[in-house]
Chains A and B, each alone.
Chain A
């Protein structure tokens, strides 16, 4: 946690207007004319590469054509029928490594159709209506428990509800939405969009929400299997990797994900203390997000240090550029070797340069030290299996995450899983949504049989 007593960590570094500007929409929504011009750039490809590249397989050429023909709500429905969190995905998907990377216009001229922004245009149009475009099938009388109300759980619950099943979502947190609510960078989803989307999804009906209920504490897999006809687990990643350096538990070192959650939940950004000099350790989306957001909160020097080269970084070039535009420095090929402490708090980090040799990564012996007020750990999150396998029959784990088959069935009959907590797949919102959808279809088939 942040220690507010040190002089170089302070809240309210900026004016009220600066906070607003810094945490506003990263991309302002397209207006009608922009949307028409941009959607007209789509070639309506056959067996479109962008669709193949979308983890949820949204029919992109079709929805773009619907925008072009001034049917944006139809476009929105096309999107949501493949991806019920299409609104959030439009804001947070790293499109430059997904649909837009595959767009033939990227190949042709380095300027893909701006699919993400157009997806937002269409889903905004549909959701502005407030009406739920999907209708529930006749009630089946079957009940399904969904553990975790993140993208995976929400997607699964909605699809099950569409098929007429009754769903209860249990979530350990006070609000559902998962990392949409607690993790995604604030400027990607301003204006309370995450909760608006949750409300929209729940408006299908047939879904009950039980917030503040944690698996392993308030109930177990066994109790759920007794009470429900099927169980879906979408609990995400509750743990964080450790630096494994002396002093890690002293003030001055924070977990990036926890700090972002605090940022996302605060009513007053000016009340959030931030250091003058920040060091972020890691190379993924979380590293980029904590760096950019602390800069936007008024930090002066923010440096990301990543142990490998730029090409290996989890964050895309586009995201790196965003951070660099915000004034973040990114250092490559250096790994932390020691934390410098002074008076019971961490005041610096010593790094050693690294080089990739055949076997892996090795230190070169050269070192440097960065003085810092706050160190953020962003070196990856981990699945915590304890809650899952506390009692009863064990669910098989592989490489630290839940093992599933193609239909997202776990080793335990009647239990499915998806999202960040399963093996394989990228840790992305859109991937979690697809997992939830696939699992729901599989559950539906199982319940019908």
Chain B
């Protein structure tokens, strides 16, 4: 069994799986159940100033389902904790005392004024928790009051608040980022400049999951009206993964630890986040879909994977980052063609019709008058669409060709040449013509 013990900005936990600040970490009862189930740490549901906010009493979740009602996206319009600060603080203190080996980070959100942050940090420090996470991400309700993503969308505010916090507490400060922004590197750089110990991302994405077509109101609707909520769950993982990788390979953010969040449901999701630069991961929707027990699968899966690879947890972090590059550096001489395994093919014809209708007319539908699907190399541009739509795993694969030129374009198919070197690029640095 690989050692899963994790040290994230000095915060130790028996494994890298934390529960994100959200309903699963809302109170002592839930958090104790989570620790009993084996979670390495939690970020306590975001605390705010008294009097507590109120949540809507109508439906606060909406969902996107795949077939058989598998939940792939969740939308919520919940705000921060709706319980009094003191109640939360007492519970946090008790839980940390009872579970000293687990990570307990407290999420915070107060108005953008230094005294407010100072005051709450002081109160939180007294609980002996391990650190704080600044919630600059909540995209609904709180943002209308100038908090949450309203702060997270302005890099100057992020830097300012991070600096206030670092100046007034000895605890590690994690800044939680909103994805509702065009370039995630700017808020991350701001947090870094402000002295934050780490960033965590992503918080939820602005969303409306569906519209009631009888009442013409967004779902979930409350008394006939709906507002956007925050989207999370498996559907957002690709977006969040990309954002994590952007920060991981940003020179200005070099050395800034990342806590990866967004749609993590299995050990594999977690490993992917870590390979793209996350030091640990946080989970919300998966727990809210299946309960806390899923962490057992995550631990065993990650541990077995590390054993099989002969890697430690820290070896994994960032392992894929050097392979994330800009489009302009991709090898244009790497020419692949789709290959159909006729023994596996069940002849559904989907590869043909998508290539025919929407791509490059490179897959036959018949051969010698019989239903038969085969790739025409002289038409195939190697795009991978057919691979993605084929219902049979590994039935279509992409193979690099061995010929010197691409039969489709006539372009060279060996060696390396990227866009910066391509003759069609007016800015290309072409080799000097030979004398």
Q: B353 to chain A: which residues have CB within 8 Å?
A: 46
Among residues of B, the one whose C-beta sits closest to the C-beta of A49 is B347
- Check A46–B349 contact: CB distance below 8 A: yes
Among residues of B, the one whose C-beta sits closest to the C-beta of A107 is B346
Determine whether A328 belongs to the interface, using a CB cutoff of 8 Å to chain B. no
Q: A46 to chain B: which residues have CB within 8 Å?
A: 348-350, 352-353, 365
- Check B371–A37 contact: CB distance below 8 A: no
- Check A43–B68 contact: CB distance below 8 A: no
A40 vs chain B, min Cβ distance (A)? 4
- Check A45–B67 contact: CB distance below 8 A: no
- Check B350–A105 contact: CB distance below 8 A: no
* Contact bitstring B340-357, A, C-beta under 8 A = 1, else 0: 000000111110110000
Interface positions, chain A 25-78, Cβ under 8 Å from B, are: 33, 36-37, 40, 43-49
> Interface size bucket, B side?
10 to 19
Q: Most chain-B Cβ atoms within 10 A of its Cβ — which of A33, A47, A105?
A: A47
- Check B350–A45 contact: CB distance below 8 A: yes
Determine whether B392 belongs to the interface, using a CB cutoff of 8 Å to chain A. yes
Q: B238 to chain A: which residues have CB within 8 Å?
A: none
* Contact bitstring B60-88, A, C-beta under 8 A = 1, else 0: 00000001110000000000000000000
Determine whether A138 belongs to the interface, using a CB cutoff of 8 Å to chain B. no
Determine whether B391 belongs to the interface, using a CB cutoff of 8 Å to chain A. yes
Q: Most chain-B Cβ atoms within 10 A of its Cβ — which of A37, A45, A46, A48?
A: A46
Among residues of B, the one whose C-beta sits closest to the C-beta of A33 is B69
- Check B346–A104 contact: CB distance below 8 A: yes
State A43–B352 Cα separation when bound (angstroms). Answer: 13
Determine whether A245 belongs to the interface, using a CB cutoff of 8 Å to chain B. no
* Contact bitstring B315-354, A, C-beta under 8 A = 1, else 0: 0000000000000000000000000000000111110110
Contact for A47 among B67, B346, B349, B392, CB less than 8 A: B349
A106 vs chain B, min Cβ distance (A)? 9
- Check B347–A104 contact: CB distance below 8 A: yes
Q: B350 to chain A: which residues have CB within 8 Å?
A: 43-46
- Check A37–B67 contact: CB distance below 8 A: yes
Q: B68 to chain A: which residues have CB within 8 Å?
A: 36-37, 40
State A107–B345 Cα separation when bound (angstroms). Answer: 9
- Check B371–A47 contact: CB distance below 8 A: yes
Q: A33 to chain B: which residues have CB within 8 Å?
A: 69
Q: Known contacts being A49-B371, A108-B392, is A43 close to B348, with CB within 8 Å? A: yes
Q: Known contacts being A105-B346, A107-B347, A108-B346, is A47 close to B365, with CB within 8 Å? A: yes
Q: List 16 A-B contacts (CB under 8 A).
A: A33-B69, A37-B67, A40-B67, A43-B350, A44-B350, A45-B347, A45-B348, A46-B349, A46-B350, A46-B353, A46-B365, A47-B349, A48-B349, A49-B347, A49-B371, A107-B346
Which residues of B are at the interface with A, using a C-beta cutoff of 8 A? 67-69, 346-350, 352-353, 365, 371, 391-392
Which residues of A are at the interface with B, using a C-beta cutoff of 8 A? 33, 36-37, 40, 43-49, 104-105, 107-108
